[in-house]
Amino acid sequence: MRILRTILAKNKRYVLVLPIIVLGLAFVAALVYHMVQPPLGHAGIANVRGYETAQAYPSESAKMICEDETQAHVTAIIGVRAAAVSGPMWDAASHVYSCNFMYAGSAHISLSVKELSSAAQTTAYFNATGIQRGRAKDLNLGQGAYAATDDSVVVRKDYKVLVVDVSRLPQQFPAAGSGKSSYVRSYIATAIAQSILGCWDGN
């Protein structure tokens, strides 16, 4: 006992400091742990950027393209209400959510969102769609966009690729003589894409 008391007396300063050092190290370890954890995306799926990733069901933001608010925006842009909005349709295998805005005759606008799970996948799909449709000119929308040779608009945002397909509209819509203002279909596609992006940013 005398030897033990002697040792403790000689090292009293170190014995008192040791708990403080241990607590400090524990605090630093906890801080580092929380700093390196990836944030959660909107759907609760962890990823480095905090973006939604493709799941078995469409995301809430994807479903916006066919909802009443978007339908009202499309009507305001064109000046003509769609006779019907088909769908919406969800292809679980390809993770594509879509619907068609039907007008008189065979005219219609197709809206679709492809959901992906990484920046690399999004870039690959975005570029492949440009090759398939023909990439006419770049647009300043989202995180990259272009107009296709058929006047459709393709936009990437987070891990999504939005396509506003106006290839089934006449070059001027509504047709002259309809009593409504007529717009070139390239303008219609761009305006609809801008409107959807606005909804996404406000989500």
- What is the Cα–Cα distance from 76 to 178, expressed in whole angstroms? 16
Closest alpha carbon to 82 in 100, 55, 64: 100
pLDDT tens, position by position, 133-177: 999 999 999 999 999 999 999 999 999 999 999 999 999 999 766
Supply the pLDDT for residue 29: 44
**pLDDT tens-place values along the chain, 203 residues long:** 554 455 445 555 444 443 444 344 444 344 333 333 333 333 333 344 679 899 999 999 999 999 999 999 999 999 999 999 998 999 999 999 999 999 998 999 999 999 999 999 999 999 999 999 999 999 999 999 999 999 999 999 999 999 999 999 999 999 766 678 889 999 999 999 999 999 998 75
Please enumerate in sequence order all residues whose Cβ is within 8 A of that of 186, keeping only pairs 6 or more positions apart, or say none: 147, 151, 166
Phi, psi for 169 (deg, rounded to 5): -95, 150
* Sign of the Cα pseudo-torsion (162, 100, 85, 103, in order): positive
- What pTM does this model have? 0.75
